[in-house]
Structures are given as C-alpha cells and as structure tokens.
Amino acid sequence: MSKRFSQRQTRWAAFTVAASACSVLLLPAQALAHASDRGHVLLLPTNYYLAGGAFAVAASFLVLSLMSPEALRRLWRKRLVLFRLPDTARVAVSLLSFAVFVALIAAGFWGSRDPLSNPLPLTIWTLLWTGMTLAQGMFGNLWSWLNPWYGPWRLLARLIGSEDERMRLPSWLGYWLAFLFFFGFAWFELVYPAPDDPSKLAMVAGGYWLFSFVLMLVFGYDVWSSRGEFLSIFFAMLARFSLLDRDEAGRLSLCWPGAKLLDATSLPFSGGAFLLLALSSVSFDGLMRTFFWFGLNGINPLELPGRTAMIGMGSLGLVATFFLLALLFGVSILAGRWLAGGRLPFTQIAGLLVWSIVPIALAYHIAHYLTDVLVNGQYALVALSDPFALGWDLFGTAHMTVTAGIAAGADAAWWLWNIQAVLIVGGHILAVLVAHVTASRLAPVTSQAALLQIPLTMLMVAYTLFGLWLLATPTAG
Amino acid sequence: MTGRFFDLTNGKASRRTILKGLAAGAGLAAAPGFVRYAQAQSSAPMRIGFQAHRTGIGAAYGRWYERTTAAAVKAINAAGGINGRPIEVVIEDDGTDAARGAEVVAKLATQHKVDIVYGTLFSNVVVGSAPTAGELKIPYYVVSEGYHVASGKLNRYVFQPGITDVRAQVTSVAPWIAANAGKKITMIFPDYAFGYDHRDYLPPALQKAGAEVVAKIAIPPTESSFTKYFPQIPSDTDAIYHVMVGPAVLTFVKELGDFYGSSGPKLFGFIDSLEAVDINSPGLEYLDGSHFWEGSPRYAQADDTEAQKAYRAAVDIDDNGAAVADAKDVSTAAHMFGCWETLYVIKKAMEDAGYKGPEDRAKLVEATEALTEFAEGPEHPQGKKVFNGKIHQCFGTQNISKLEGGKLKVVHKTAIEDGMYEPEADYTKQSL
C-alpha cells in the first residue's frame, strides 16, 4: 500500500470505525473485487459522450436564447384534455395502500431474513424509491392517492368528527422539517450500515409512518403532507415534470414534460434547499462508489472494509455534497443577478430558478437506479408473491427465475450507458428550457433574461459532465 | 410449518421454497408466542446460519453462493438430511461488512439459535467475524480461500474444509508454469494484501521448480490506465503472471494487447479477476491462448466425472458455466463449489460427532478436526481433498486451463501435494 494511502487511512481512523479494515490488511486476502459491469463501460468511448453531452446542453441554451420565450411558453402550455377523473376512490386506494404497507411491515419483522427474499426492502428501495419516483415524473402525483396516510387520516377524522388541525405549524419553519427528514432518509439509505435489513427497515419505516400520522393529526393532513412529510413533498415536486395533469375540476390532460413547472410559484429558501438536497443526495450516491472518492479517503476500492468503517466519511460526504451544490447554485444565481443588472431580489430569482433542478434530479434518479430496477425489480415480484415465506404464490411469480444477466455483460453495459447518457443530457437540456422560460418571467427583456441564466447554464453544463463522469468512472460496491 | 417444506417424500419443493421457508421459520421463531418445533427434537431441523454477502461489494458472489447452498441443501435433505434431520438454513445478510459480520454471527447464534454458522466468502468479513464465533463457541465454516484460517491467526472454531487457500493455489501452479510457460517470469499484481500473497508465495515456489521472477510490478489499486507500467516488463520475460482485479481488468488486458500486438510473452492469470464475467467480452481478445488457474472449471469438460455433471445440473449451470435460464448470468464456478463441499463436510462431521444440539458443539469441532480426507464423488465433485485438522484447512487439486476457441479447457490438474506447505499453526492446542 502506498504511503499516501497509509497516511489518509490514519487520518480517517479518527472518524471511522476502521479497526476491522486495518486488521484485514495484515492478513492475506483473496481477489474478489471482480470485474463488474462498469469494466465494460470503461472500454467505451465515454469521453466523447462527456464532451458531446456538455456541448449539447450549452448549444441548447444558445438556441433557446434566440427563441421568443412567449412563443415557447404558448407551445409548452398546450394540452390535450383526456377525461374527468373524480377523486371518489382516493380514500379507498390509500386505505388499500395502508393495508399493503402494514403487511409489508409485518413481513419485515416476520418474513425471510434475506433482503432479496423479503418484500419490505425490495418494495421500499426498488419499487417505491426508484419505481414510484419514475412514475411520479411520468404520470403525475399518484402518491397523493397511493400514500398510506390519507385514507387512515380521513377515517380517523370522520370517527372523531373533525378534520381540523390541532396546532398551527409555524410558517417560519417553511420546509426545514421536511429537509431534515429527507436528510435522515438519505443518510439511512446511503450511510447507515444495514438499510436493507428487513427488521431494522420495518422499525424505521413503521416508526416514520406513525410519527408522520400523529403530526398529520396535529397540524392537519394538508399542511403536514405539503411542508413536513418529505416523501409527499419530493414526489409532488417531481410530479410537476409529468406528462399528465389533473386540474382543480378533476380534468385529466396530456401535457408537455415540465409544463407544470412554468406556473410554479417561487419556493422559499427552505424549499429550494430541499430540492437541492434531493439532487445532491443522489449525486453523492454515485460519487461515494467511485475510485476517486475512495482514493480521496484513503480506502482501497478493491478491498472495501464495508459500510460500518465508512460511516464518518459517508456522513461528511453527504453533508459536503449538499453544501457544495447549494454554494454553486447560490453563486450562479448571484452572478446571474449581477449580470442582469441586480435589481431583482435574490430570493425570488433563486426560488423560481431552483425549479429547473427538477428535471435534472429526475434524470439522475432514473439513470442512477436503472440497473437496480431491472434486477431487484424481479426479486421484488418474487418476494411479493410470498411475502411471509410461507410457500404462497399470490401473483404466480413466487417461482419466477430472476434473470440477473439482464444487466450483465458488454451488450447490456452498452445499452445501459447509452440510455443513462440520454437521460442525463436530456434532463439537463430540459432544465435549461425550464430556466429559460422561468427567467423570462423574472426579466421580461430578452437580453436581461439571457444574462440572468448564463451562470446557471454554466453550472448545468458542468453538472452534465459530472453526471456522465459518475456513470463512466471506475466504481466499487 | 417447517415440516411442510421438508416433506422428504415430496420432490417438488423448489430451491427457493427450501431457503425461503427455512428463513421464515427463523423469523417466526422470534415472534412472540411461537412454539418452536412441534416435533420431537430428533426430527427437528439442523439449523445452519448462512452469513451471506447479499448486498455490498460481494453481492455478485453472494448470489451464486446462495444458489449453490440452496442446491446442496435440497440434495442433502432429499437424501435424508443429517442424521435423519433436515437442514434448515437461516440467511442473514452481512452487507460484505466486517463489523456487520460479527453482528450477524452473534445474531445467528443467540437470536436464531442456529447450530453452526457457515458460508462466508470475503476475507475482511471472516477476519471480523471469527473472534465472535470463538467467544460464542459456535463452529464457523467459511468458504473464503483466504490463508487466514491456515495461518493460525483465527481460532479453534473457524474451519475452511471445502476450498483451498490462496497460498496453496499459488504454490501448486508454480511447477506447471516453470515447465510450460518459461523460466523468466514477470509478475503484475495490485499493490495491496491480495497482490502481496502472490508476490510472496510465487517466487520461492518457482525457484524450487527451476524458474525465477525477473520483475515484480505493483499497480496502485485505484489505477485505471496501465500502459505506462508495461515498459517495466523486462524484454527477456518468457511469461507474465498477472493477478489484476477490479473493474479495470478489461482495460488492463486490452492495453496489454495494444502494447504487444500479436507477439509478446505468454500469459498466466488467476480467474478470480474474471469470475462472473463472460470470458468472450470485448477487450479480452488478447487472453486467447493464455492460461488460467481455476478452482473448479467454469466450462463443462469432455472428461467430466458423473459427479461433476450431477453437481453442475444441481446448481443449474450450463456448459458455459452460466445460469441455465439466463446465459448472460455467468457463475462464480471457480469458488462456489466450495459451498457444496463444505455443507457435505458439515454433514459428515455432525454425523461423526453424533451431533444433537448446541451442547455438542465442542464434539463437532473435534469431529471436524479428526477428518483427514474426502474422496472425489457426488459430495466432493471438484476432486479429492486432504484435510489438516491442526490448521483447519483442506488441500486439493487445482485446474490450469487454456483459453481457446472462446472456452477454458483444463490442460493440467495439479497434484494435491503441489500445494502443500509446512503448517504454521495447531488449533487443536487451543482449549474448547
């Protein structure tokens, strides 16, 4: 091991439980860091994709700046009304969802101990965190129907004869509580050693449900689910990107992706921070697996000690990634404001332009978890058919063969890389589009609006490069 | 309820039903009011705790270790179990995390009340878990191929009876390399503990066989471009011994091919670096005609024994060593046979010890230590093994395979003696 490695290791020992890792280094080891599928990606001409992707995002800004924002907005606002969709079944759907949730929590405690046979971790991490995010981004706020709180809350409210809030949630709190819960969630997912352990996850997920339910009773369902419950907020924000829209009158229409972002109101500081945390946490999920990150922290990526020894560096990394992104975003808004003449209030510009993060966060999320969905999605189908490992076959999938090979090999790596690259570049181009139209709301003079966006566009070009690099660089774990 | 899954007259129980059903028993056993085993103890299952790498860096290996374990358990149970009692497997994921490994051993022993713990692959998890197994006095059978067991640095409760260790593997291939690949060898290895095993054990073995190492090139673990190291390879090198690992292996092979073109020294490598990877992947063309160590052959061989054929069918791998139902899912064939063979060693030792329950764990340790050899056959399809009860480690034959026509063909099987070395420990002197 190089001297640099040893020095870094010593430094981090103060923060991490690295004792076990160090003891391993004293003993002979075997070669089990196998050539993962990232190995196939390393042979692809990814540098051309990085350059091409950055160029495409920059070029889209130039092209858009020549176009009239008003015409763009008119075109983007066009929608095709489909049919009326009443919300009479919302309570029933949510109650059903709650029943499924309770069954899953029970499976977490009493089902198989194997995280790939127990339906709870597979449902939470694969179907909900990845699949639901994708569904929200495509089809709109399904979560407002599917969440396991609304039905029970309505039922209980009817029983006690009041839907009124017991206390007012102070307005100065903004989205900060949701921000904290989201951070806790991201930490549990990315840093905590055993997020897949069925019983530990059952405790955390069940506990969070109960906690949120109580706060919904205290502060009112609408208030808590729009300012405190982080999943509902995250999903609602992403749903603004979707291709379907349901208006106040219940009419469902087909719209352009991101069209609902055009009318978004300015987010308070805490709301912007929440959106930036959503993007920074999924970015860190990619970063924390790169050889670059391990090298920075003195960890040998070919001989990972396991999560327990990396809690310190993971926690710091998660926090640092957020602050770095927030700083870059803040500086780019300040610089844009200065370029555009400096008359508009910073909070208003930041609060509106931060919505352009939504397509990037969505693209990162899907690109990053694509292989997880392909493989663990199959394990989920198997596990859901027999949630308590009692030999049931509820959906006829209990004995389905899981084809892990779907994401393995050079061909799969080529396809996946190309899909991921299109998602990342496409997400950023849409972000530039959202920023362009939003900027024109802030600064009606075209040249002023363009100047306002220049620094943010530069950040988006850089983030395109970063996003593609995360998917192309050597990784472990 | 467990009886439903182990109706030995019913051959229809699928692999999944077996593992899942067993694990469910574990969960329910912890539930309040659950009465364990309505049956008499004589028919109650033997509970084997499976410390599995289901998540983390070892997950690709863990998937195949789980499949092999399920296949072996199905076969053992179908043939009457252990002493007439079926095996019940309780899986706990360790996240390939050393610290969690210790927790998992403790949880399996105290919460799930398993009889033994089994199945660990990664060295860091073995080393992290072994002290807990020793403290709780629960036999811990690993399938890791690390030298840590034989080195004497662990404790009396840790065994590796189903797979040979890396020191024996490196030592046993040296005579063939000296006789067939050449006398001047350049080693290219990653600059950390795994690479050092090869760096330290190969040169003396080669020297004994009349060859020498002319250069040792250590590559930093985070390196992803290798061309700059190749000029260090002496021009009179007959063969390159390479043990690179990690995602950059394909890049390493491609760049080596670009460096030498159609000529260059012969190549000898360890299949570890390409386990679970299609050997015909783009970038690996330069390996054609080169030789590899394999624990158990990935590809079906013309002279496979009936036992080997039956084993391959049981673990559901095709002639190319991939999942029968999923040709792109390449197995970890060189290692996973160790799970199969270890479970049969556990069965043999439990039967020899007349094992009835946790109170007989010390007897089980002594019975395992008393084993001396395992004959080649359905229980040991990879080949005959010799077991050294003092260092808790087995020794066996190694395969040297040539990559030709897109397949690995076994061209030499080493003798068991080729891999033997002077034992450095005696666990039997430790108290139980």
SS (H, E, C) B139-206: CEECCCCCCCCCCCCCCCCEEECCCCCHHHHHHHHHHHHHHHHCCEEEEEEECCHHHHHHHHHHHHHH
Inter-chain CB proximity B56 and A113 less than 8 Å: no
Residue-wise pLDDT for A15-55, tens only, equals 333 333 333 334 444 445 445 678 899 999 999 999 999 98
Residue-wise pLDDT for A271-286, tens only, equals 999 999 999 999 999 9
Inter-chain CB proximity B100 and A39 less than 8 Å: no
Distance from CA of A196 to the nearest CA of B (A): 8
Query: Per the CATH hierarchy, to which homologous superfamily does domain B2-164+335-396 belong?
Result: Response regulator (3.40.50.2300)
Inter-chain CB proximity A406 and B270 less than 8 Å: no
Mutate to test the interface with A, among B19, B124, B164 (most CBs of A within 10 A): B124
Residue-wise pLDDT for B382-400, tens only, equals 999 999 999 999 999 999 9
Q: Where are the domains of chain B?
A: 2-164+335-396, 167-294+398-419
CB A291 within 8 A of CB B224: yes
> Could you give the number of structural domains in chain A?
1
For A390, which residue in chain B has the nearest alpha carbon?
B21
Residue-wise pLDDT for B133-178, tens only, equals 999 999 999 999 889 999 999 999 999 999 999 999 999 999 999 9
pLDDT score, position A36: 63
For A289, which residue in chain B has the nearest alpha carbon?
B57
Residue B222: strand, helix, or coil: coil
Domain of residue A297: give its range.
3-13+39-472
Q: Any idea which of A86-95, B35-44, B195-204, B361-370 has the lowest mean pLDDT?
A: B35-44
CB A118 within 8 A of CB A107: yes
Q: State yes or no: pLDDT of A149 exceeds 50.
A: yes
- Could you tell me if residue A92 is inside a domain? yes
- B155: buried, middle or exposed (CB in 10 Å: 19+, 13-18, 0-12)? middle
pLDDT score, position A258: 87
* CB contacts < 8 A (A, B): 291
B167-294+398-419 shares the fold of B2-164+335-396: yes
- Write down the mean pLDDT value for chain A: 88
DSSP A179-243: HHHHHHHHHHHHTSS-TT-HHHHHHHHHHHHHHHHHHHHHH-HHHHHHHT-HHHHHHHHHHTT-S
Distance from CA of A25 to the nearest CA of B (A): 6
Compute the distance between CA of residue A286 and CA of residue A294 in angstroms, rounded to an integer: 12
- Could you tell me if residue A32 is inside a domain? no
Distance from CA of A131 to the nearest CA of B (A): 20
Give pTM, 2 decimals.
Answer: 0.88
Inter-chain CB proximity A113 and B23 less than 8 Å: yes
B330 vs A contacts (CB less than 8 Å): 405, 408
The Cα-based distances of A178 to A145, A212, A261, B223 in angstroms read 20, 11, 21, 41
Distance from CA of B352 to the nearest CA of A (A): 31
Q: State yes or no: pLDDT of B347 exceeds 90.
A: yes
H helices within A244-356, ranges in order?
269-287, 291-296, 311-339, 346-353
CA dihedral A347, A352, A356, A359 (to 10 degrees): 120
Nearest residue to A363 (alpha-carbon basis) of A53, A72, A59? A53
CATH number (3.40.50.300, 3.40.50.620, 3.40.50.2300, 3.10.310.10) of B167-294+398-419 reads 3.40.50.2300
Buried b (16+ CB within 10 A) or exposed e, A397-427: ebeeebbbbbbbbbebbeebbeebbebbbbb
Residue-wise pLDDT for A69-119, tens only, equals 888 888 888 889 899 888 889 999 999 999 999 999 999 999 999 999 999
Rounded average pLDDT over A415-434:
92
Q: State yes or no: pLDDT of B18 exceeds 60.
A: no
Mutate to test the interface with A, among B16, B132, B253, B293 (most CBs of A within 10 A): B16
For A24, which residue in chain B has the nearest alpha carbon?
B124
Compute the distance between CA of residue B260 and CA of residue B241 in angstroms, rounded to an integer: 15
Residue-wise pLDDT for A205-225, tens only, equals 999 999 999 999 999 999 999
Inter-chain CB proximity A42 and B55 less than 8 Å: no
